[in-house]
Structure 1
């Protein structure tokens, strides 16, 4: 999920679904990296178990859930079965979140925050 680093610190809703607020240290890292790298970086919240935040350039971002073939190819990456399983779990969480944002069906915030 790409998150606007300038969002209000009390958070926002997207179609009734809360958008997690980035921690202060993540925002500070982004300011430093923008200065050091000199090009636009996007703040990404991953759907992994730890809910990892990362600053990435545009060329490292791919849309999720737009093209089944692209999604399937990305899901086959990872040499170890444990890595592939983690990627599948994160993918399923992301697609579930996307489904809830689009339809707001039986949303349980504790699953995503």
Structure 2
């Protein structure tokens, strides 16, 4: 993982945490989705992004998101063998197998 990608991931994850602790769950989830996109190739970070999405689901009392994140945490093992849908935002509102477009501002980290 390049240093710039590590920094971008940490920035998104930390922004999500800050907003989470302030009670802004919607915006925190957005940053956890961006952290997820950046972390997919890296197992530990990938799991960490799903962990924080799980915490949002629990705090929202959202059973679908909570269950979906538990499944995705297990499925994050795909990162270990290079099997993951590029660009997928990681929320339970999308298929865990669906590739998605990478946001323009994050594409630079994948070149």
| Structure index of larger Rg | 1
- Report the structure, 1 or 2, having the larger helix content: 2
Provide TM-score, normalisation by structure 2: 0.31
**Which of structures 1 and 2 has the larger relative contact order (alpha carbons within 8 angstroms, sep 6+)?**
1
- Report the structure, 1 or 2, having the larger strand content: 1
Provide TM-score, normalisation by structure 1: 0.30
